[in-house]
Structure 1
Amino acid sequence: MTLHITGMIWARPTSDLEPPSGAAFQPDFIEAITRAHEEGGFDRVLAGYWTNAADGFLVLAHAAAVAKKINFLIAHRPGFVSPTLAARKLATLENLTGGRLALHVISGGDDPDQRKDGDYADHAARYRRTDEFLEIIRNIWTADRPISHEGEFYRFQDAWSDVRPLQTPHLPIFFGGASDVALRVAGRHADVYALFGEPLADTAAMLNRVRAAVPAGREVAFSWSNRPIIAATEKQAWEKAHDIRERAIAKQALAGGAGLIAASGAVNSQRLVGLSQRGEVLDERLWTAMAGLLGGRGNSTAMVGTAEQVARAMLRYRAHGVSHYILRGWDPLPDTVQYGRELIPLLRELADTEDRGRVSVAVRTAAE
């Protein structure tokens, strides 16, 4: 099973541990963090979606101008851009990158955050809208004549796009969301289903739920997210983890906060907070304390240990079908460099060793 490793880029230095600094859009930082991922052996980088941050389309367009090998993943929330226009924007950016773009669809799960961009649809409506949105853009990308549509959320006549994705049949679609309605939409549209960093048993149960929602004849790959904390020794790694927590608490205090950030209404956020309530460390080295501290927002659990300990713990998820990993650092730029130097080569080496072992066993079994 091929290993795919995705990192994350921003338009400015961004961290849960330090207040933001400098301009909100820093081209030099985009270049530096993109190059760090490419030089570190990442397969892909993700530009996320935030209601206060620079536009991900333009962030990735700039990143693609300086990095010629790495692939890109753009987070997009349906509902703010017409799907006919979104299809053309995505196809244009995909062509600009030379066919190196994938789409990460986030329907949104936090009502207050959605309303910052003027979206007052409830949770169920957002996923119905995503379903309709994805059906439309896939049709736009593959149609051989102008198409018209009249649905619950969108209505248009004779839509057509001259620009088409270089990838066939279209851009790969990553998808996240843990509610029942989210899984139904994922089953219809996702090429890669993305999970946050949960323990092995929880991850296996979620993958089974997704597989049950996938119609016959479709295949879905799985992505697992984490924010590894690695050091030369396990003791030093845990000391580093505890320092990260103290720095996050200090940042909240500077902003006038006190204690834990409340969990959002998103099902995934509630799941991560629930993990922190079950125990600070699960499965030996999956550290949940930051998920509790940050209210389950984003990718907020961490594997802690030496590079080899963390790599072996991460690769245990492959037995359940995980082939993609999204890695994000707590100090993003230096952590990216460290992952590229110490963790990613080990992940690939150990995965190759596992795969060769499986092939040898299969060959011996077939010969008996």
Structure 2
Amino acid sequence: MALHITGMIWARPTSDLEVPSGEAFQPDFIAAITRAHEEAGFDRVLAGYWTNAADGFLVLAHAASVAHRIHFLLAHRPGFVAPTVAARKLATLDHLTGGRLALHVISGGEDLDQRKDGDAAGHTERYRRTDEFLHIVRRIWNAEAPLDHTGEFYHFQQAWSDIRPLQKPSLPIFFGGASDAALQVAGRHADVYALFGEPLRDTATMLDRVRASLPEGREVAFSWSNRPILGATEAEAWDHARHIRERARAKLEAAGHEGLIPAGQAVNSQRLVGLAQRGEVLDERLWTGMAELLGGRGNSTALVGTAEQVARAMLRYREIGVSHFILRGWDPLPDVAAYGRELIPLLREMAEAQDRGRVSLGARTIAA
């Protein structure tokens, strides 16, 4: 099974541990963090979507101008750009990146956040809109004549695009969401289904749910997100984890938050907070302390241990069908470098041994 490792980039220095600094769009920082991922051996970097941040299309366009091997993943919320326009924008960016672009579709889990951009659609309505959006985008990319469309959310006549994705027949589609509505849409459109960092048993159950939603003959790959915390020893890694939580707590207190952030409306957020209520450490080293503190928002669980311990834990997910890992650090630039030195080379070596049947995930070393 292939192994794909994705990191994350931003338009300026930012983390859950420190207040963002400087201008909202910093080309030199985009270049630095993109190159850092490329040098560390990541396969792809994700530009996320936030209602207060620089435009991801342009962040990735700049990233592509400074890095020539790494691939890109663009987070996009349907509903704010017409699908006919989005199809042309995405195809253009695919050409600009040399065919290195994938699309990460996020329908939106929080009503309040959607309203910041003027969207009053409800949760299930947003997923119906995403379904129609992706159907149209793919039709535009593969049309042989101008198209008309009359649907629940979109209406147009004689739509046509001269520019098509460099990748044929379309860009790879990553898809996130844990609700039943999300699974129905993913079953029709996803090439890669993205999950947050839950324990093995919960992840396996989710993989089964996704597979059951697929039409006959369709297959998807699976992505699993985590924020590893490494140490030279296991004790050092756990000390580092506790220090991270204290820094995050101090940032929240400085911003006027007292105690834990409440769980968000999104199903994924509620699932991660539910994990924290089950225990601070699950499956030996899956730490929920930051998920609890942050209200389950975003990618907020962490595998904690030495690089070898974390690699072995990740390979257990690969054993049940996960082929993509989205890894994001708590101190972004230093953590990217540490993953490149300590974790990624070991993970790839062990994955090759796993494919040859020569690594025992319960043992301390790879079989000779």
Fold agreement, TM-score > 0.5: yes
Displacement after TM superposition at 1:260 (Å):
0.6
Cross-structure match for 1:47: 47
- 1:111 and 2:102 equivalent? no
Cross-structure match for 2:20: 20
Determine the C-alpha separation between the residues in 1 that align with 2:15 and 2:145.
46
Determine the C-alpha separation between the residues in 2 that align with 1:317 and 1:253.
35
- 1:99 and 2:109 equivalent? no
Cross-structure match for 1:362: none
Displacement after TM superposition at 1:229 (Å):
0.1
Q: CA RMSD in A?
A: 0.9
Displacement after TM superposition at 1:231 (Å):
0.9
Cross-structure match for 2:207: 207
Displacement after TM superposition at 1:320 (Å):
1.2
1:62 partner letter: H
Q: Percent identity?
A: 80
Displacement after TM superposition at 1:265 (Å):
0.6
- Per-residue CA deviation, residues 20-68 of structure 1 (Å, 9 max, x unaligned), is 1111111010000000000000000000000000000000000000000
Distance 1:151 1:346, change over 3 A: same
- 1:244 and 2:244 equivalent? yes
- 1:161 and 2:142 equivalent? no
- 1:228 and 2:228 equivalent? yes
Displacement after TM superposition at 1:170 (Å):
0.3
1:286 partner letter: L
Determine the C-alpha separation between the residues in 2 that align with 1:249 and 1:265.
22
Displacement after TM superposition at 1:264 (Å):
1.0
Count of matched residue positions in the alignment of Structure 1 and Structure 2:
359
Determine the C-alpha separation between the residues in 1 that align with 2:29 and 2:320.
37
Determine the C-alpha separation between the residues in 2 that align with 1:52 and 1:334.
25
Determine the C-alpha separation between the residues in 2 that align with 1:284 and 1:14.
30
Determine the C-alpha separation between the residues in 1 that align with 2:246 and 2:132.
44
Cross-structure match for 2:307: 307
User: Secondary structure of the residue that 1:357 maps to in structure 2?
Assistant: coil
Displacement after TM superposition at 1:277 (Å):
0.5
Alignment of 1:217-296 (within 5 A): 217-296=217-296
* TM-score for the superposition, normalised by structure 2: 0.97
* TM-score for the superposition, normalised by structure 1: 0.97
Determine the C-alpha separation between the residues in 2 that align with 1:110 and 1:90.
25
User: Secondary structure of the residue that 2:273 maps to in structure 1?
Assistant: helix
Determine the C-alpha separation between the residues in 1 that align with 2:260 and 2:26.
30
Determine the C-alpha separation between the residues in 2 that align with 1:12 and 1:181.
34
Determine the C-alpha separation between the residues in 2 that align with 1:2 and 1:37.
19
User: Secondary structure of the residue that 1:351 maps to in structure 2?
Assistant: helix
Determine the C-alpha separation between the residues in 1 that align with 2:333 and 2:119.
33
Determine the C-alpha separation between the residues in 2 that align with 1:273 and 1:206.
17
Alignment of 1:28-107 (within 5 A): 28-107=28-107
Determine the C-alpha separation between the residues in 2 that align with 1:92 and 1:251.
39
- Per-residue CA deviation, residues 63-105 of structure 1 (Å, 9 max, x unaligned), is 0000000000000000000000000000000000000000000
Alignment of 1:349-364 (within 5 A): 349-357=349-357
Determine the C-alpha separation between the residues in 1 that align with 2:304 and 2:103.
30
Determine the C-alpha separation between the residues in 2 that align with 1:326 and 1:4.
8
User: Secondary structure of the residue that 2:323 maps to in structure 1?
Assistant: strand
- 1:340 and 2:340 equivalent? yes
Cross-structure match for 2:125: 125
1:319 partner letter: E
Determine the C-alpha separation between the residues in 2 that align with 1:303 and 1:358.
23
Cross-structure match for 2:323: 323
Determine the C-alpha separation between the residues in 1 that align with 2:176 and 2:210.
11
Cross-structure match for 2:152: 152
1:208 partner letter: D
1:64 partner letter: A
- 1:186 and 2:186 equivalent? yes
Unaligned runs of 5+ in 1: 360-368
User: Secondary structure of the residue that 2:152 maps to in structure 1?
Assistant: coil
User: Secondary structure of the residue that 1:170 maps to in structure 2?
Assistant: coil
User: Secondary structure of the residue that 1:149 maps to in structure 2?
Assistant: strand
Determine the C-alpha separation between the residues in 2 that align with 1:311 and 1:119.
41
Cross-structure match for 1:366: none
Determine the C-alpha separation between the residues in 2 that align with 1:305 and 1:16.
20
Determine the C-alpha separation between the residues in 2 that align with 1:335 and 1:81.
34
Determine the C-alpha separation between the residues in 2 that align with 1:280 and 1:113.
28
Displacement after TM superposition at 1:358 (Å):
7.4
Determine the C-alpha separation between the residues in 2 that align with 1:324 and 1:103.
14
Determine the C-alpha separation between the residues in 2 that align with 1:267 and 1:309.
29
User: Secondary structure of the residue that 1:22 maps to in structure 2?
Assistant: coil
Unaligned runs of 5+ in 2: 360-368
Determine the C-alpha separation between the residues in 2 that align with 1:187 and 1:340.
34
2:223 partner letter: S
Determine the C-alpha separation between the residues in 2 that align with 1:204 and 1:73.
24
Determine the C-alpha separation between the residues in 1 that align with 2:217 and 2:91.
26
1:13 partner letter: P
- Per-residue CA deviation, residues 276-305 of structure 1 (Å, 9 max, x unaligned), is 000000000000010010000000000000
Displacement after TM superposition at 1:266 (Å):
0.3
